[in-house]
Amino acid sequence: MTTLRPTAPVTVSRPNGSARQLIAPASVGVLGLLVTFAFSWVPSVWFDEAATISATTRSWPELFRMLGGIDAVHGVYYAAMHVWFDLVGYTPSTLRLPSAAATGLAAALLLVLVRRFASERLAITSAVLFLLLPRVTWMGGEGRSYAVQVVLAIGLTLVFVGAWRRAAQSRRSRLLWWTAYALLATLAIWTFLYLALVIAAHAVTVILNARRDRRSVGLFAAAAAVAGLASIPLLRLADAQSGQVSWILPLDADTLHGVFVAQWFYRNNTFAIAGWILIVIGAVLLLRRHPRYRRAGVGFAAVVLPWLIVPTAGLLVASVLVDPLYSARYVTFSAPAAAVLMAVAATSVRRWWMAAGIVALCAVLTMPSYIAQRTPTAKQSTAWNQVAELVARERAADAPDASEAVIWGPLRKHKAATSRVIEYSYPEAFAGLVDVKLKTPAAQTGTLWETAYPLDQVTERFDGTSVAWLITSDKQDWRPSVAEKLAALGFHVEREWNISTTNVVRYVR
């Protein structure tokens, strides 16, 4: 059986002094922030990020009302982003900056975690490889909670390991650590429900170590139970709102691609092949108790391997037995475990320059993904920033006192919303336009999105306007029907544009 109380391996080289202990984590943390935030402002905001904007730029009472009907599983993240926007205001960059900062923090915490088991060299390599994973560079530029989830997963694992290693200390010390674990586990679940699978992975680790420390087994069980009980209200809300994940498809052949590519090597098949070779080698080395990790032994594997396997396996099983729940990006929080196993393989070579070469190869392999993630249409082919720039530029040439209207048409791939999400994302470009179809603003509906009138019912709202804009999907194309209705009001098409998946038409009279 395994133990979580190994002594440090012979190869560990510790800096002297607590301040020097922070140099490596701080360095990779700053590196993570810079790498993931760089050029994150280039891609357009897309639908998921628009949901964050819609939820967090309304008042607190309106946000709480919305969470009672939809997106309760994202409530903690929305609340944190609401506070952030209250402090700095909303822009696409401020939307994504917290994720970049969280990614840097995650890299720093991962280094600290690995250093608890093995050498500084392996810890640094793990953090660097983590920052090279395409899923990680993606999450660092995404205005959603994925990077925060990874921080919580690593932090929870750090507290778990710390609590287990206090088994031989005083009862008070043990209780303090396991209380901290229960509190952090509760926060993690409330931030993202699937983080309960990290606790399930820790339960597997506990089972592997049960014979060596039975007291900690009971304390872990109690802490996990407290977190579970504290999360019951969220579970009830999530069950009532389960329709919001109806877009997740049943398992099929594409699921294999999700598991072996999209989870950690997002849209990079070549890196996926190399990464999985390293992951398998790293797992074998830990399970065989390679001499480099003999003292850390299988205890290291007992933490890392369940973290890698249990969340994915749990979602796949649940998708078969209950409802489709598996989505590759929902297992982003297992990426640190993949990076650690890759690092174990990379640092197992005899020469340092060979290990450096493996890391350099991974950096080369990730570059196509990194560049693709920072192109203007990287996020679901949206180019809303270009639409906003176009409208702003054309409006700037109009008379200052001109009254202009806008018609928001369908949004490609998302039936619940309209192309008005572009205004949520880039509000300055559309300030002052008369939204002729608007019935109830999103903040007043108790949902993420607004309600609208049929165009035939609001023709009087065009009175006094000399320009009308139609912004619509290129697939659900409203141009013919809108042109006919506006012609009866004296409007004619002045100019049309197609920008990626969006058609823009300017009518004048």
Same domain, 360 and 414: no
Per-residue pLDDT, 441: 96
224-250 average pLDDT score? 92
Question: Are 107 and 40 part of one and the same domain?
Answer: yes
Q: What percent of the chain has pLDDT over 70?
A: 94
Q: Is residue 56 pLDDT above 60, yes or no?
A: yes
Residue 369 sits in the same domain as residue 389: no
Mean pLDDT of the chain: 92
Choosing from 347, 373, 399, the residue where a domain stops is 373
**Choice between 162 and 3, residue whose per-residue pLDDT is larger:** 162
> ∠ CA(355), CA(360), CA(362), 5° rounding?
100
Of the pLDDT bands very low, low, confident and very high (cuts 50, 70, 90), residue 247 is confident
Q: Are residues 403 and 343 in the same domain?
A: no
Lowest mean pLDDT among 6-20, 293-307, 409-423, 435-449: 6-20
Provide mean pLDDT across the span 172-180. 92
Same domain, 168 and 284: yes
* Structural domain includes residue 157: yes
361: tokens are: 């190869």
Residue written as token pair 């009862």: 171
In a domain, 394, yes or no: yes
Are residues 397 and 335 part of one domain? no
Domain boundary among 340, 373, 406: 373
258 with 403, same domain: the answer is no
User: What pLDDT is attached to residue 5?
Assistant: 47
Residue 13 has pLDDT above 90, yes or no: no
Domain end marker among 373, 392, 408: 373
Q: What is the pTM of this model?
A: 0.93
pLDDT of residue 210: 81
Q: What is the mean pLDDT of residues 402-415?
A: 93
pLDDT-derived band at 194 (thresholds 50, 70, 90) equals very high
- What is the predicted pLDDT for the residue at 372? 97
pLDDT value of position 268: 97
CA separation for the pair 506, 467 (Å, rounded): 7
**Residue at 10 is within a domain:** no
Q: Can you give the pLDDT at residue 214?
A: 77
Give the lowest-confidence range in 200-214, 389-403, 404-418, 450-464: 200-214
Counting the structural domains of the chain, the total is 2
Domain annotation covers residue 6? no
Instruction: Enumerate long-range contacts of 254-261, CB under 8 Å, 24 or more apart.
Output: 255/316, 255/326, 258/326, 258/327, 258/328, 259/312, 259/316, 259/328
Amino acid code (one letter) for 46: W
Same domain, 301 and 402: no
pLDDT band at 298 (very low <50, low <70, confident <90, very high): very low
In a domain, 488, yes or no: yes
Other beta carbons within 10 angstroms of residue 59's beta carbon come to 10
Task: For residue 102, tell me if it sits in a domain.
Answer: yes
DSSP designation for 407: E
Those residues whose C-beta lies under 8 Å from the C-beta of residue 406, and which sit 6 or more positions away, are 423, 430, 433, 434, 435, 436, 468, 469, 470, 471
pLDDT at 1 over 90: no
Residues 184 and 305 in one domain: yes
* pLDDT attached to residue 321: 95
Whether the per-residue pLDDT at 7 is higher than 50: the answer is no
Give the pLDDT of residue 17.
58
pLDDT at 20 over 80: no
The stretches of 38-91 forming alpha helices (DSSP H) are 47-56, 60-67, 75-88
My answer on whether 155 and 244 are in the same domain is yes
pLDDT of residue 137: 98
* 126 lies in the same domain as 222: yes
Residue 3 counted as domain residue = no
Query: Given this model, what pLDDT does residue 293 score?
Result: 54
Least reliable range by pLDDT among 212-221, 262-271, 398-407: 212-221
DSSP assignments along 326-391, one per residue:
--GGGGGGGHHHHHHHHHHHHTTSSSHHHHHHHHHHHHHHHHHHHHHHTSTTTTTT--HHHHHHHH
Asked if 199 and 158 count as a contact pair (C-beta separation under 8 A), the reply is no
pLDDT confidence bin for 235, thresholds 50/70/90: very high
Give Rg (Cα) of the chain: 26
Instruction: Please check whether residues 345 and 398 belong to one and the same domain.
Output: no
Tell me whether residue 236 is exposed, middle or buried, using C-beta atoms within 10 angstroms of its C-beta: 0 to 12, 13 to 18, 19 or more. Answer: exposed
- pLDDT tens, residue by residue, 357-387: 999 999 999 999 999 999 999 999 999 999 9
Residue 11 located in a structural domain: no
% of the chain surpassing 90 pLDDT: 84
Mean pLDDT to the nearest integer, 175-179: 94
Is the confidence at residue 6, as pLDDT, over 50? no
Domain housing 83:
18-373
- The packing angle between helices 92-115 and 75-88, to 10°, is 120
* Cα atoms found within 13 Å of the Cα of residue 166, Cβ hemisphere only: 20
Which residues make beta-bridge pairs with 418? Answer: 410
Lowest mean pLDDT among 172-176, 295-299, 432-436: 295-299
